Every structure is written in structure tokens, then in C-alpha cells.
């Protein structure tokens, strides 16, 4: 489901592209490879070349995916409401609220205009970081169903053989990725919420390239402060402070057993 899902038929995708871009994709682009380079659960991506020679990736939402997702969400939200009415644990952890937030996130992920704006925001946040690359969005060839972006060439972050063959230091790459994640969470309060291996590419010069910005998260100052306290407690291996930080962040309506929580945390960080 990350990048190897069964692709939709080209003719269906071609019709979608023509409707969205106002012309046949084979005419809009100087070159367009009709075999997808990746196919995920919501969309699939194609390699293409703009008429100015720029290499791009054209991401297309799967034809017919919206009604399928809405049907699934309706079922899940109904089940969550039923659980909240009849199961105390579901009420304590606000399962219905969790499901409503999940539905909102998924609907935003299917809107490629929203994803494009997210990418532009990440590009601005990382404009002074030479270790992280965010692809440029070509808005003249993008809509709610189609997103055209700069193509990033590189190795999948989990392809250890390719990384070693290229002479790249994996520990340094891990530090770069961790620093980028820390910046997103603790400095910007705006983070990539779907950093699976299919969305992280390592450039030949050791830069980390990020793609797929449909799912993001935002943290206010209060939550960032709470996460910072938790992070410091983990580094210091202090279960008492970890318990305090977690209890301040909890969404449970019932009060957790602090002593049991502290004992569990002590075992976790031992």
C-alpha cells in the first residue's frame, strides 16, 4: 500500500488527467511514461518531462477512490459511535473523536491542492537546511486530483546495499533524518506524518529527499513543551518525569494509575 499497490488502468487515469488538465497528458507534457513508477492506496505516480525540459512526477488520484473511502469511513464512524455508547473504554479514550479526526485527515490527504500547499510550507521551513530537499510544486499542472512536482532521484532509505555501494555513511544519514524530524516537531510544530520508506529518498550527495505531504500534523506551543519534557525524561531515563509528562498529555477521561505507569515505564527504558 505504500508504493506497490495494484495500479489503476492507464486509460482510466488518462481520462482523469485529460479532464483535470484540459488536454491529453501526452500533449501537455513533452514526455509522459504511461507505466507508473509507484502505485499507492490513494494515488499513483508517473514520470514525465515538462516542455521546458524539467523532470517531474505526476501524481494522480485513483479514479473512483473517493466514494470507496467515504463508504469505509461511514462504516468506521458508525462503529466508533456504537462502541462509545456501549463500551466504557471507548468512551474513556474518545474513540469517536479519534475516528472523526482520522476521517478529516484522510479527506485532506485525498486533496492534492492541500498537499501542494503542505509541500510549499515544508520547502519554506527547510530553505536554509542544505541536508533536506523538498520537491518544487508546479501549480500550473496541478489540481485537486493531480499534483505535478519536481522529480527527486535517489535511493530508497531502506536499500542498504545501494547506500553502501554509493559510499554513503548510514549513521550520518540517520542523524540527518532524525535532525529533520526534530526540527519539524520541536521547532516548526508542523511535521510529515507519513514518513514510511516509500516517502524518503537519499540523494547521491547524502541529502534526504522527502515526498508525499498529504498527511501532516501540527503541534501548538503547549504540546511541543509537553513533548520536550517527555523527550528529556526519556534521555535521562527518568520514569517519574516520563509518567508526569505522559499524564499531562493523556486524552483518557479516567485517571491512570501513576504507580503502575511508572513501573511499566521503568521496565521500558531499563
Residue 246 sits at the vertex; the CA angle it makes with 244 and 249, to the nearest 5 degrees, is 110
DSSP 8-state symbol, 199: G
The C-alpha cell at 270 is: 531499563
- Closest listed residue to residue 131, CA positions, set 72, 178, 62, 185: 178
The C-alpha cell at 267 is: 521496565
Q: Are 109 and 215 in contact, with CB atoms under 8 Å apart?
A: yes
User: 95-116 burial by CB neighbour count: b if 16+ within 10 A, else e?
Assistant: bbeebeeebeebeebbbbebbb
3 state DSSP class of 245 = helix
Catalytic residue check, 194: yes
Alpha-carbon gap, residue 258 to 29, rounded angstroms: 61
3 state DSSP class of 1 = coil
Phi, psi at 70, each rounded to 5°: -65, -35
Q: Which alpha helices (DSSP H) does 9-111 contain, by range? A: 10-21, 25-28, 65-86, 88-92, 95-109
| Catalytic residue from among 188, 194, 212, 221 | 194
- Closest listed residue to residue 122, CA positions, set 37, 191, 169, 182: 191
Phi, psi at 200, each rounded to 5°: -125, 120
**What residues are annotated to the active site?**
194
Amino acid at each position: 500500500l505504500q508504493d506497490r499497490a495494484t495500479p489503476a488502468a492507464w486509460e482510466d487515469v488518462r481520462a482523469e488527467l485529460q479532464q483535470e488538465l484540459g488536454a491529453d497528458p501526452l500533449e501537455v507534457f513533452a514526455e509522459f511514461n504511461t507505466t507508473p513508477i509507484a502505485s499507492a492506496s490513494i494515488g499513483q505516480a508517473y514520470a514525465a518531462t515538462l516542455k521546458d525540459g524539467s523532470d517531474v512526477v505526476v501524481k494522480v488520484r485513483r479514479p473512483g477512490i473517493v466514494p470507496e473511502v467515504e463508504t469505509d469511513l461511514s462504516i468506521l464512524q458508525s462503529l466508533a459511535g456504537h462502541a462509545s455508547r456501549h463500551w466504557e473504554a471507548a468512551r474513556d479514550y474518545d474513540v469517536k473523536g479519534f475516528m472523526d479526526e482520522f476521517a478529516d485527515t484522510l479527506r485532506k490527504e485525498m486533496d492534492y491542492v492541500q498537499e501542494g500547499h503542505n509541500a510549499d510550507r515544508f520547502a519554506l521551513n527547510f530553505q536554509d537546511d542544505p541536508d533536506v530537499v523538498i520537491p518544487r510544486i508546479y501549480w500550473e499542472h496541478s489540481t485537486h486530483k493531480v499534483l505535478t512536482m519536481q522529480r527527486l532521484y535517489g535511493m530508497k532509505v531502506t536499500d542498504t546495499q545501494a547506500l553502501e555501494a554509493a559510499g554513503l555513511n548510514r549513521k550520518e544519514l540517520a542523524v540527518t533524518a532524525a535532525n529533520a524530524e526534530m526540527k519539524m516537531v520541536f521547532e516548526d510544530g508542523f511535521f510529515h506524518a507519513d514518513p514510511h520508506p516509500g516517502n524518503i529518498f537519499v540523494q547521491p550527495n547524502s541529502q534526504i529527499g522527502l515526498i508525499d505531504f498529504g498527511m501532516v500534523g501540527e503541534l501548538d506551543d503547549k504540546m511541543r513543551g509537553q513533548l520536550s519534557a517527555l523527550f528529556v525524561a526519556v534521555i535521562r531515563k527518568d520514569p517519574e518525569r516520563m509518567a508526569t509528562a505522559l499524564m499531562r498529555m493523556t486524552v483518557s477521561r479516567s485517571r491512570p494509575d501513576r504507580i503502575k505507569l511508572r513501573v511499566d515505564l521503568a521496565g521500558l527504558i531499563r
